[in-house]
Chain A
Amino acid sequence: MRPDDRKYLDSHEWAKLDGDLVVVGITDFAVEELSNGNEGDLVYCDLPDVGREVEQGETFGEIESVKAVSDLNAPVGGEIVEINQEIEEHLETLSEDPWKKGWLIKIRPADASLDHLMDAEAYEKHITVDH
């Protein structure tokens, strides 16, 4: 079971409330799909500039592996107030700790509700059914 202190998107991002901010990352499943268990297969992560406004569901960045590029989608709308600058040079962090150290961006949400997202149980079901 994945952490139940956060919510999930069907495109494999996670969103966690942290005070009045929403922290966003990608799940271990997403990392595994991209890298197939080989962290060296992740080649690039493109994160947005701080200050950018995103809408819910909008692509805020990209992550690239040896074989493909995947979009990173915003779980909530709002202003991007912080990005994890360590990630671009240390993609292995995503393999090692996707839940904490591997966070990608923090959003100051227009509406702090995460009710439209899946809980850990629903996400678990989602990745079992589809894959």
Chain B
Amino acid sequence: MADAELKKTSLHDAHVALGAKMVPFGGWSMPVQYASILDEARRVRAHTGLFDLGHMGRLQVTGPDAAKFLDTVVTSFVAKIPLGAIRYGLVCDENGGPLDDLLLYKTSDEDVFVVANASNCEAVLAWLGERTGGHDVTIEDRSDELAMLALQGPKSQAALQPVVEGADLSDVGYYKFTFATVCGIPDVRVSRTGYTGEDGFELYFPDGEATRVWNALLEAGADQEIAPIGLGARDTLRLEAGMPLYGHEIDREHNPIEAGLKFGISFKEEKGDWVGRAALEAIHAAPKRKLVGITTDGKRVPRQGYALYDGDREVGHVCSGAVSPTLDTNIGSAYLPVELAEPGRTVDMDIRGKRQACAVRDLPFYSRTRK
């Protein structure tokens, strides 16, 4: 895609002014790094980092049947999500192949806010729109009118609280959200969520305020050694934390059961039937492969698409890879047949004809100690 066709978030100029290297991602021009990817990842683990997520898709499903409708098209049990809580879920096709993975914010049974991936948002919007049936719902794309920022890292609360009025962030639990005044903007959606494996928050507010809030957060977090963080470090951090990325660990051909995402799927009777349920139940009963972690002491970094071998037999492929500053080794995620997906086993990674040994590991590689 030519650069001119890429969409830009409202923070594009701010990123360039900070020296970011901009790259195409999901149809957007986004900052991959401002400084060293490894240093940015370390900063999030030790302090706090600020991310522009203005490329993410954000939908709002409202109306008397909002939760009821979503329960027919997403994997999680939306009617059972407590008010003010967030759940992970997926939209799957009849074969259990994900169109996207989502976060579902339940404001009420009649108002659910949905965060989708940038590149899948239009497909999800169309898919949901075609399946409303007789449900009384309205689905709106809020992506363009809302900015989205994340603060991630152990010092995130300390960095954010000074600019928040009307809420004590200590009261916002993990995967919960509230509405508060942030930088003087009322009714900002503030959630304790993220994609790094660290404590942190995500903020949604009118897009016109993006630059002002971005700068205010960098200033407010200065004492906490805040820094802007690009998508390169975000990818490393999420992989360390064992979180899937659409197009890598999951896609239409890689179902959420084998990806280890059962926690986002409800087979409860009361949820009723939903698109993909029968297929995913069958896979759940007899999975063929499993998503695992791999680590390698060799210098080469696992990369998407590298084949894995058990002796001469090709047995799987790498989904994602990174140099891990937290583990101080090279890591990856990969699918292996269930009989080979045991921690401690060794498989060979093929890098254009050269082999490098990898150890099979359980995911995640990293989990923080939660309070």
Contact = CB atoms under 8 A, between A and B. Distances in A.
A36 B300 contact: no
B33 A36 contact: yes
A41 B300 contact: no
Interface in A57-101: 62, 64, 66-67, 69
Interface stretch (B34-42, B166-174, B212-220): B34-42
A67 B299 contact: no
Contact of B36 (A41, A43, A64, A69): A41
Contact of B21 (A36, A43, A62): A36
Given A44-B299, A44-B300, A66 B21 contact: no
A66 B33 CA distance: 11
B323 A43 contact: yes
Size bracket of the A interface: 10 to 19
A62 B352 CA distance: 10
Interface string B8-33: 00000000000001000000000011
B300 A38 contact: no
B355 to A, nearest CB: 13
B-side interface mostly: mixed
Contacts, number: 41
Interface in B301-336: 301, 303, 322-323, 330
B36 A40 contact: yes
Contacts of B352: 62
Given A43-B301, A44-B299, A67 B38 contact: no
A69 B303 contact: yes
Interface in A34-58: 36-38, 40-41, 43-44, 46
A41 B38 contact: yes
Contacts of B322: 66
B264 interface: no
B41 to A, nearest CB: 10
Contacts of A44: 299-301
A83 B149 CA distance: 48
Interface of B: 21, 32-33, 35-39, 232, 299-301, 303, 322-323, 330, 352, 354
11 contacts: A36-B35, A38-B39, A40-B36, A41-B37, A64-B299, A64-B300, A64-B301, A66-B36, A67-B32, A67-B37, A69-B303
